[in-house]
Amino acid sequence: MSIKVSSLFPLPTKEVSKELDSYIKILQKTVPLKAKHSHELKYAIRDLSRDLTGERSNLSNDYMGDPRSLNAYLRYFLPWNLYRLARLFQGLDIKLPDNGVVVDLGAGPLTVAQALWIARPDLREKKLTFINVDRTPKPMREGSRLFEALAGEKSPWRMVNVKGGSTSKIREKAHLLVTANMVNEVSSGTRTPLPVWAEKFCLSMVHKLAPEGRILIIEPGIRRSGRVLSVIRQEFVEAGFPILGPCTHTEECPMSGEQGKAWCHFNYDSEHAPAWLQKLSAQCRLEKDNVSLSFLYVGLRKEEVEAPREGEMLIRAISESFRLDEGGFGQYGCAAQGQILLSAQGGAKTLYPGGLIGMPIPEEEKRDEKSGALIVPLPMRENDRRKREEKAGKPQQDKESRDRKPGHRKDRR
């Protein structure tokens, strides 16, 4: 059987890697550090990391207005976010018309605009207006300078910075409405029950859309974010909006992060991040083996999404692979049939997190004892089968076990 796999987080192209590698020069030229800030940069990064990964409701609303925190954010968190978003933007179907409008709520230092420029050269010649909204103007001003240094003065993309929050009224209607690393903050700071908050939030998002607009919500890959996005997803589904990603269906979310359940998030490698950024991370003792995120991509009511063929199920690979007790490798995924355990035995291979495949619905329903997930065996791919046939009879090391990092399911989510 031949399996067609689409990738949600493709590896950076040569052009994308070049832009990310040279971004340190843009930072040094555009926002040079004073001597005192340079000396304590790694400590500022470490402090901000602790604040951001702790209880966010205790985080100051104006933390980006503090020079020490802003320098730490621009030098460390911004580049890592550019890497995360660039990988996502390469794999998403983002279509914007000439004279299109992108509204970025919680824009910070214009991370979305910069990542989109880096990841999508096909959009660089379009005339686009970015309405960047944030409570703190200073990061947006710095982001505008960084974007101009990145894209050049003659870029047809126009930046408009607006001081405000997620509920601010905006005159222009968005062809793409984006929030990145904002929803978890604003939902944590309210006493309103999450479903009630989500209903109001979704309604305010829809009011900001152009007739052909789409909504993209990106959050850290933590349980709290996964739970919030699951509730928001349900609101959009009930309102008749198609979910373009990562979901393959509109059934109940099997990875909602509720009551001990797994939550929908993706981990992918950090080894293709710029070497200078990995070096800085090591100096701060914040090394990364991978990066993670959760996201939700919502389309128009009239949009049609890919549907499985008769007798087929569309499965989105969610987790990284792990060793199974019975041998081989497993990987959790999601489909209309619920949570899936992809089982790779023999010469079969699991998928890259975010991969989308179509598989025949199993004739016999077998469930994983630990998770209750439906077990779907993965066949060997044709290329691997041919290679194995060509090398038949020759002693060789199992490439699958050699290439994969050792791990066990109990060590995963």
User: How many CA atoms lie within 13 Å of 292's alpha carbon, on the beta-carbon side?
Assistant: 18
Average pLDDT over residues 112-134: 97
103 versus 36: the higher-pLDDT residue is 103
115 versus 47: the higher-pLDDT residue is 115
Q: How far is 34 from 38, CA to CA, in rounded Å?
A: 6
Q: Is the pLDDT of residue 68 over 90?
A: no
- pLDDT tens digits, one per residue of 20-62: 999 999 999 999 988 777 888 999 999 998 888 765 444 565 6
Whether 326 and 263 share a structural domain:
no
% of the chain beyond a pLDDT of 90: 68
Q: Is the pLDDT of residue 280 over 80?
A: yes
* Confidence at 169, pLDDT banded by 50, 70, 90: confident
Q: Is the pLDDT of residue 218 over 90?
A: yes
The verdict on residue 2 lying in a domain is no
pLDDT at 390: 66
Here the CATH number for the domain that contains residue 84 is 3.40.50.150
**Is the CB of residue 319 less than 8 Å from the CB of residue 413?**
yes
Q: How far is 343 from 379, CA to CA, in rounded Å?
A: 9
* Confidence at 304, pLDDT banded by 50, 70, 90: confident
pLDDT at 61: 59
Whether 213 and 91 share a structural domain:
yes
Whether 406 and 262 share a structural domain:
no
Round the average pLDDT of the chain to a whole number and report it. Answer: 88
Q: Kindly report which listed range (3-17, 67-81, 193-207, 398-412) carries the lowest average pLDDT score.
A: 398-412
In which domain, by residue range, is 361 found?
312-411
Buried b (16+ CB within 10 A) or exposed e, 329-366: bbbbbbbbbbbbbbbbeeebbbbbbbbbbbbeeeeeee
Last residue of a domain, one of 273, 298, 323: 298
The verdict on residue 260 lying in a domain is yes
Last residue of a domain, one of 298, 333, 360: 298
Token pair of 263 as six digits: 């939550």
Split into its structural domains, the chain has a count of 2
The verdict on residue 403 lying in a domain is yes
- Rounded to 10°, the helix 137-151/111-119 angle is 20
Q: Kindly report which listed range (34-38, 72-76, 86-90, 127-131) carries the lowest average pLDDT score.
A: 34-38
* Confidence at 399, pLDDT banded by 50, 70, 90: very low
Last residue of a domain, one of 268, 298, 328: 298
Strand 312-317 versus strand 243-245 pairing type: unpaired
pLDDT at 1: 39
Whether 385 and 274 share a structural domain:
no
Neighbours of 134 (CB within 10 A): 24
Helix (H) or strand (E) holding 105, with range, is strand 100-105
| Ranges assigned E (strand) in 220-302 | 243-245, 266-269, 290-298
**Is the CB of residue 288 less than 8 Å from the CB of residue 296?**
no
pLDDT at 387: 65
Whether 222 and 316 share a structural domain:
no
* Confidence at 305, pLDDT banded by 50, 70, 90: confident
Cβ neighbours of residue 265 under 8 Å, at least 6 residues apart? Answer: 221, 222, 225, 226, 292, 293, 294, 318
pLDDT at 204: 93
The verdict on residue 53 lying in a domain is yes
